[in-house]
A and B are shown apart, each in its own frame.
Chain A
Amino acid sequence: MSQLVQGNEACARAAIASGCRFFAGYPITPSSEIGESMARLLPDVGGVFVQMEDEIASLGAVLGASLGGARALTATSGPGFTLMQEHIGYAALAEIPCVVVDVMRGGPSTGLPTRPSQGDVMQARWGTHGDHPVVALAPYSSAEVFELTSRAFALSERLRVPALVLYDEVIGHLRERVDIADVPLARGERPRPSVGPAAYEAYAPGPDLVPPLADFGRGYRFHVTGLTHDERGKPTDDPAIVGALHRRLQEKVVRARDDVVSVATVALEDAEVAIVAYGVAARAAERAVSDARARGLRAGLFRPRTLWPFPDAELRGLASRVRALVVAEMNLGQLLLEVERVAAGRTHVEPCLRADGTPLTPEDIGTAIGEVIGAAV
């Protein structure tokens, strides 16, 4: 049945539908409706909601719940996301599944609490120190918030990585039509040990490089640490073990890449110019593409639904056949750096950026399309 659903509400409903039974968080605009919805929904399914004292503790509680066997979620915005970075690193190294939603508002610092931004894209990738794997998904509608939140749970569980869902304030607060029954739920389970407690080594990887995870309290005793560790979870600085661990953490995501990376496209077949955009900027880009086509300009849209890992291969192919890539985002050029890296001189890369607390418009992008095509706008 069609329903009018807010983006943040879609996130909470997808979490429940995906088996999430634990939420810990601290309210912050523009993400608060996620916690509010979870507080309302979780008791009915026997889940637990905790309002914590801050965002550091929120993600700490989520990691504890996850080690106890629960699918667990927290949601925040830029300032809280910054506080969560330490535990995102911990989750990456200790390989604890968790889903973190960041509804982006203007930053840095307290910034613009009620205004949209896409300024957390690089923080999502590199906000925590050290090399680490991360999965970050970027929905652009209420329906897609539902779909990609579900996907974040599946990937996080299966790969034992922190999975981030990033969208802007507009998408978070927008209410629009969703046909929930038509939105696919992703499936993905954390690997469980096939051996008894005595033989269990908590960080001995399985065939896909992901170690099976036993639930705390089920008789499996193991050590979880933020220190670099061996396959039993014991701290070590042995260069061979440390190097192998770092490579495995990266490689487990690389191997699953085809299930992680997702790109949506519009009218790229004969496009001379491709817009690269995500979140509400991609909604503006869709309109800009249809307006440009109506004017006879061959424009198309390349929309990464996965920001991290970045869709290198997909974009590289496109870069070698278009005259220009227009990167439209609501920051001063973050995903732009990745697009330039992948394009590597194969085509012109034109920034179309806005960082004033208001969404990019179809006109902004239309102007950029006109400029790179050299046509009158």
Chain B
Amino acid sequence: MTTLRVRFAGSGGQGIAVAALLLADAAVRAGLNATHSQAYGPESRGGASKADVIVSDEPIAYPIAARVDALVALTQESCDRYRPDLVAGGLLLVDGDRVAAPEGGCRLPLVAEARRVIGAALGANLVALGALVALTHAVPDAVVERAIHERPPGGDADRALRAFRAGGKLGSRAAGEKEVVPT
């Protein structure tokens, strides 16, 4: 059985839940099982917000992840808060310009890349998603792209795809340096 538990974290409004939703949607489109749950409390409007996705080739009984295999953190606060939930040897993917990641973390310029390719920091969630998919191979790129077409964040699929693909390139380059195996 292969199960991958991913947490997307950042501050409310960064599109954390949307990135997670696209991953879960893509997993289901790829014929896998997936669950998506997001923070609904005050943190979803600021502070350390999070959304969890479980992807598995088996039915998912308990849909809540106490520990995660991958943590994507767009802010220092969310990284500090959720890092204890990351399993030993798990993937920590952070915004390199904003988060002082510890040893072994994968630091990529997620926000800067979003600004570069679509001219807005708000695309960092999709850059992160692209990098995560490249690093974990949780689902095929093409299926995520289909999910983005169906649920285009901000209503603009082309922009979203540009950000996703740019993230994929960052992730692939980083993957050359770090092999990631889902537990």
Residue of A whose beta carbon sits closest to that of B29: A2
Residue of B whose beta carbon sits closest to that of A30: B40
CA gap between A175 and B62 in the complex, in Å: 13
CB neighbours of B66 from chain A (8 A): 361
- Decide if A287 touches B34 in the complex (CB within 8 Å): no
Residue of B whose beta carbon sits closest to that of A289: B61
- Decide if B37 touches A4 in the complex (CB within 8 Å): no
Segment 1-30 of A: residues with Cβ below 8 Å from B: 2-4, 29-30
- Decide if A174 touches B28 in the complex (CB within 8 Å): no
- Decide if A280 touches B63 in the complex (CB within 8 Å): yes
Residue of A whose beta carbon sits closest to that of B22: A4
Q: Which of B32, B33, B62 meets A287, CB within 8 Å?
A: B62
CA gap between A291 and B20 in the complex, in Å: 28
The answer, yes or no, to whether B41 is at the interface (CB within 8 Å) is yes
B27 CB, nearest partner CB in chain A, Å: 8
CB neighbours of A170 from chain B (8 A): 37, 63-64
- Decide if A174 touches B24 in the complex (CB within 8 Å): no
CB neighbours of B24 from chain A (8 A): 4, 175
Residue of B whose beta carbon sits closest to that of A112: B41
Residue of B whose beta carbon sits closest to that of A2: B28
B51-73 CB mask vs A (1 if < 8 Å, else 0) is 00000000011111010000000
Residue of A whose beta carbon sits closest to that of B54: A176
- Decide if A175 touches B40 in the complex (CB within 8 Å): no
CA gap between A29 and B33 in the complex, in Å: 27
CA gap between A96 and B62 in the complex, in Å: 37
Indicate whether A177 sits within 8 Å of B62 (C-beta atoms), given known contacts A4-B34, A114-B40, A170-B37.
Answer: no
Which size class do A's interface residues fall under?
A: 20 to 34
- Decide if A175 touches B35 in the complex (CB within 8 Å): yes
CA gap between A362 and B65 in the complex, in Å: 11
- Decide if B34 touches A176 in the complex (CB within 8 Å): yes
The answer, yes or no, to whether A248 is at the interface (CB within 8 Å) is no
Indicate whether A4 sits within 8 Å of B61 (C-beta atoms), given known contacts A173-B37, A175-B37.
Answer: no
Indicate whether A3 sits within 8 Å of B62 (C-beta atoms), given known contacts A174-B36, A175-B35, A176-B35.
Answer: no
B5 CB, nearest partner CB in chain A, Å: 13
- Chain A contact surface mostly: mixed
The answer, yes or no, to whether B84 is at the interface (CB within 8 Å) is no
Q: Which of B28, B36, B41, B60 meets A3, CB within 8 Å?
A: B28
- Decide if A177 touches B61 in the complex (CB within 8 Å): no
CA gap between A286 and B59 in the complex, in Å: 11
The answer, yes or no, to whether B21 is at the interface (CB within 8 Å) is yes
Residue of B whose beta carbon sits closest to that of A290: B61
CA gap between A5 and B36 in the complex, in Å: 9
Indicate whether A283 sits within 8 Å of B62 (C-beta atoms), given known contacts A30-B40, A173-B37.
Answer: yes
CA gap between A174 and B25 in the complex, in Å: 13
Residue of A whose beta carbon sits closest to that of B36: A175
The answer, yes or no, to whether B38 is at the interface (CB within 8 Å) is yes
The answer, yes or no, to whether B176 is at the interface (CB within 8 Å) is no
The answer, yes or no, to whether A101 is at the interface (CB within 8 Å) is no
CB neighbours of A173 from chain B (8 A): 37-38, 40
CB neighbours of A280 from chain B (8 A): 63-64
- Decide if B33 touches A176 in the complex (CB within 8 Å): yes
The answer, yes or no, to whether A169 is at the interface (CB within 8 Å) is yes
Segment 1-45 of B: residues with Cβ below 8 Å from A: 21, 24-25, 28-29, 31-38, 40-41
CA gap between A285 and B35 in the complex, in Å: 17
A-B contact pairs, 17 of them (CB 8 A): A2-B31, A3-B28, A4-B21, A4-B34, A4-B36, A30-B40, A114-B40, A115-B41, A170-B63, A173-B38, A174-B36, A175-B35, A175-B36, A175-B37, A176-B33, A177-B33, A283-B62
Q: Which A residues lie at the B interface, using CB under 8 A? A: 2-4, 29-30, 114-115, 169-170, 173-177, 280, 283-284, 286-287, 290, 359, 361-362
- Using A4-B34, A362-B62 as known contacts, list a sample of 4 further A-B pairs with CB atoms less than 8 Å apart, ordered by residue number in A: A174-B63, A176-B35, A176-B36, A283-B62
Query: 5 tightest A-B contacts by CB?
Result: A175-B36, A114-B40, A286-B61, A287-B62, A287-B61
